[in-house]
A and B are shown apart, each in its own frame.
Chain A
Amino acid sequence: MTPTPAVADEPIVRLRHPWRWLAAILILIVLAQIVVYVATTDAFRLDLVAQYFFDQRVLNGVVTTLQLTVLAMLVGVVGGVVLAVMRMSDNGVLRAVAGGFVWVFRGTPVLVQLYLWFYLGTVLPKVTLGVPFGPTLFTASTSDLISPLTAGILGLGLNEAAYMAEIVRGGINSVDRGQSEAAEALGLTPGQTFRRVVLPQAARVIVPPTGNEVITMLKLSSLVTIIGMTDLLGAVQQISARNLQTFPLFEVAALWYLLITSILTVGQGMLERRFARGHRGVGSTLQLAGA
């Protein structure tokens, strides 16, 4: 018997997948129906959507929403790092306070927290800065200090800090103990070790969930309409209260939120690649030694 005579020459018949095709066709039919319905039904008022998409009041609302998201996340990230460091401190009081903070702020709805910040003036009429039990340096009425914007930033930001604390702590714990030992053995101070060795590596673990938090925050910020802020949602509510075109205006809001979250998702992907440096050797083989 001669070895392997006519091996490779017969045609190969691939396995067919009729059910895949059927499922795809059914779904495409349903999608086509939806598109046709939206396009041909006047109640959607796509003309109004286009008209109001760049309405000045809507644009102002978008700016407010973005401001609120950025400031609340800033409070959240800085607060989260501080809380995480406190929770890992050798000082028992700091650990307990950070634990208590996370307990309270994760344990109550953010909507309730927004109301409480907004109405803080009713239980704490004045805010005073001074030496404890000593002279007063500064005093102001709480309702002057806590505008709806401040209440929104505090409510959303402090709530976020409680979640970020867990994310940051997870990131810091993910860095091998040997990394900080090596840094300290080289004579770096604990602060240098944390900033230059531990935190940059923890960032790789912290950044992806933080990107999700930003996107969640953008949508969650719409809650501030209940304390009278005119963000994106507040703006479309006000317009629709006048012209009664409720559905088209909420379409405008949905499209804006979707547009911004899409941009954020792309940015998140870019950040993740940036922080993955040194893992799976992203973009490093080219810049060769001694360069």
Chain B
Amino acid sequence: MTGAGRVAAPMVEARGVRKSFGRHEVLKGINLTVPTGSVVSLLGPSGSGKSTFLRCINHLETIDGGEIDVAGRLVGYRRQNGKKYELKPAEIAAARRDVGMVFQRFNLFNHLTALENITLAPVLAKGVPKDAAAERARQLLSDVGLADFGGHYPSQLSGGQQQRVAIARALAMDPKLMLFDEPTSALDPELVGDVLDVMRRLAEQGMTMIVVTHEIGFAREVCDSVVFIDDGVVVEEGPPAQVLGNPVHARTRAFLSKVL
């Protein structure tokens, strides 16, 4: 399941994705294609549905309509005989191993050290030997500038350090796709730069990334395209220079005038 031979295929393709919480429809038919190797940022006002859409991509939310393909495979279902069969929990877990996720509030495992946070999933879900997993974890910690912090518990790390450990934890599973859900929104301003630097380097290495963010600067410099979502639909998408510099839609202009 390496996806070889599908290099030209998009990493993520969403068609008419709908999602409701109770009677409130949050996603009203999202269409989006993310080519392999590209970095896409999702922009939009709070409550626009951008985080919900991101969570749908790795099935943390179940969608009510439409469908999402990740690396050519349907998310959450198996298509057979003209029907979509819901996947079993173990199958969903297996599919998620290809998709890394970074959360706004880090969600590091509080009872484990930084190193243990990183090794837990490779050992449990992929059967990587403990020594090899620890070796890899040390490498990843050093990559995110935290080589000396493997023995620290999350409560002993700053927010910026926790978020970098969280990125290392996701990378330890060798994902094909990384999802970032407002990764710098819970950080003190002076800590944002370190996290963005790690993300920038990841983008340079060719990782496919979808980033929900309010960091317009990051979107402009690092992203291949910017998608503006409002009220559950994609309003506008294109290269950063176009969407951020010369938006077509009034709603995009109104949003940008508030955040810039």
Contacts and interface: CB of A to CB of B under 8 A. Distances in A.
Interface string B51-72: 0000000101000000000000
Candidate in B93, B101, B114, B152 with the most chain A CB atoms within 10 angstroms: B93
B150 A289 contact: yes
A279 interface: yes
B89 A189 contact: yes
A222 B165 CA distance: 52
B125 A185 contact: no
Given A179-B109, A189-B93, A287 B151 contact: yes
Interface in B116-144: 120-121, 124-126, 138, 141
A289 B165 CA distance: 13
B251 interface: no
Given A196-B124, A284-B151, A284-B156, A187 B93 contact: yes
Contacts of A277: 111, 153
Contact of A278 (B93, B103, B111): B111
Contacts of B126: 187
A179 B110 contact: yes
A184 B96 contact: yes
Interface in B42-90: 58, 60, 89-90
B7 interface: no
B115 interface: yes
Contact of A186 (B110, B114, B151, B170): B170
Interface residues of B, number: 44
B28 interface: no
B148 A288 contact: yes
Contact of A176 (B107, B112, B141, B155): B107
A280 B154 CA distance: 10
Contact of A200 (B108, B111, B125): B111
B60 A185 contact: yes
Contacts of B113: 278, 284, 287
Interface string A156-197: 000000000000000000001011011111111110100011
A187 B103 contact: no
B169 interface: yes
Contacts of B93: 184, 187-190
A189 to B, nearest CB: 5
B147 interface: yes
B173 interface: yes
B220 interface: no
B200 interface: no
B225 to A, nearest CB: 24
Nearest to A279: B155
B125 A284 contact: no
A4 to B, nearest CB: 38
B94 interface: yes
A221 interface: no
Contacts of A192: 124-125
Interface string B142-186: 000011111111111000000000100110010000000000000
A197 B101 CA distance: 17
B15 interface: no
Given A201-B111, A284-B113, A289-B115, A187 B151 contact: no
A280 B97 CA distance: 32
